[in-house]
Chain A
């Protein structure tokens, strides 16, 4: 069928394109502005000359930031956290989602386990009791305090178990006829077939660990153990100058507080900006398949 393009329709289409383009620009412009500030000279940034393009281009803010030991250690902590936390999250998500994807008549304890996990989504002990639990279990000020309390991401488990349930039952039955047990079926059949869902969940878990800041702030006693986002919280948001050493103070004169912050903000966002476009096509599919049920 051929649509008749009336004048009103044409006006709507142009207005629609305009509004949507405007919205996406609004999402991007603040980031571009900060990027421009980070590459501008101290003087130009202070004078408010920088809009969306660097003025008096210089990389000195980045040189300054990258020479700061505290910044580099915090990146190290974050990388360690993402590697360890992501592994634990993914293994446990898969191991929990598979039994819970069974039907009750095949696995009669399923309902009990499901409630056991879902209750934690609905009800939490709260900040202080969590803090005390972490303290009592003796993992305060270690990397484990950042990965163990959130070891089982229940929301991701729900996404994955719904995905598992959508796979044809015949595959599983065929595997059992061929003599496979639950472990073989899970790793050799279910996991390979769930690539889109797993890619989605991996993205969520990795971004979650990269972005987490509050647990670092409260569970780490020594700022040397802060992950990047906790470090940025204290330096960029709170302007905590105790983390700035005296040599920093000297070079701050050349670099300027504002451009240095902009450089750190941008570097905190960089990995996500790099990874995200590639994983984007997976997560659309993964979320939709995981959330829409027949």
Chain B
């Protein structure tokens, strides 16, 4: 088109400048700091490159720790269960919501089930600690009506993981229905009309039109969820766990916090963090690639 229509590009660079600088410092800066995973880092020595290099010793040290396999196992188990349950429930809820014909009821339900997503794990943690308490919690009071003994949900290793999965789904299922509801509105209504003419009931319509219509977005969220296989949820675990349940609930992120910032073993903690970042990065890259191949999804 006309050359005049082209505005010069330097204002675009200028707009990006402040963002680029801040990201450079606070996102790329820490990436440089990863070198301390290969050092015997001594804060007193100050500079990043003044500490002695020790190669992979930090990694070896972690591998020799009796806890490390348990922590990896906890992380993967908790994350995988959260991914599966957190994936199925929103699909079902969005299908149920889709059957609701009364608009105000639908909206009311949506407003209520989105709410927990916007509250922090501090608030929800505080609420759950109170509600699930074995002595005064309302859940145990309710269970005692049916003759159950009080259960220490947050202090018992056989209960802790299920509680993590259930409460995480409780917080997020409503909000995650949004994408599926959006997909449902995109299905061509003519398909339903044709199905009704052919004599299909609601159930048949759901089976043969709604579900296939949701398939692309289902495949997409399923592939993208893969990237979270080492993200068991720091905020939630940190605010609900205690030493009694380290055995079933200690995850990589909480472990890094404890050995790094509590015990000040910077090098070791960074090595563990680096391991997690690399594995996560691989999973995320693979999942984005698969999402692109099979669902034609691109981030931007």
**A26-B170, A117-B23, A213-B120 known; A126+B30 contact, CB < 8 A:** yes
A264 to B253, CA, bound (A): 27
The winner among A121, A129, A291 for most chain B CB atoms within 10 A is A129
A214 to B261, CA, bound (A): 12
B62 contacts A by Cβ under 8 Å: no
* B97 partner residues in chain A, CB cutoff 8 A: 20
* B125 partner residues in chain A, CB cutoff 8 A: 236-237
B281 contacts A by Cβ under 8 Å: yes
Contacting residue for A128 out of B5, B131, B170, B269, CB 8 A: B269
Contacting residue for A152 out of B5, B23, B276, B281, CB 8 A: B23
A271 to nearest B CB, angstroms?
10
**A33-B138, A127-B273, A232-B122 known; A122+B281 contact, CB < 8 A:** yes
A21 contacts B by Cβ under 8 Å: yes
B59 contacts A by Cβ under 8 Å: no
CB contacts between A and B, total, < 8 Å: 263
Name B residues whose Cβ lies closer than 8 Å to a Cβ of A: 4-7, 9, 11-13, 15-16, 18-20, 22-23, 25-34, 36, 48, 93, 96-97, 99-100, 105, 108-116, 118-120, 122-123, 125-131, 136, 138, 141, 170, 174, 178-179, 182, 186, 193, 196, 201-202, 234-235, 238-239, 253, 256-257, 260-261, 266, 269-270, 273-274, 276-277, 281, 284-285, 299-300
Name A residues whose Cβ lies closer than 8 Å to a Cβ of B: 1, 9, 12-13, 16-17, 19-21, 23-28, 30-31, 33-34, 37, 45-46, 48, 51, 92, 95-96, 98-100, 102, 106-107, 109, 113-114, 116-118, 120-134, 136-137, 148-152, 158, 161-162, 173, 176-177, 181-183, 185-186, 207, 210-214, 218, 229, 232-233, 236-237, 258, 261-262, 264-265, 268-269, 272-273, 276-277, 280, 284, 287-288, 291-292
Which 5 residue pairs spanning A and B have beta carbons closest together? A125-B30, A129-B33, A126-B273, A211-B120, A24-B112
Known interface pairs A132-B33, A265-B130; 8 further A-B residue pairs with C-beta atoms within 8 A, sorted by A's residue number: A24-B112, A31-B115, A34-B127, A123-B31, A128-B256, A128-B260, A218-B261, A237-B122
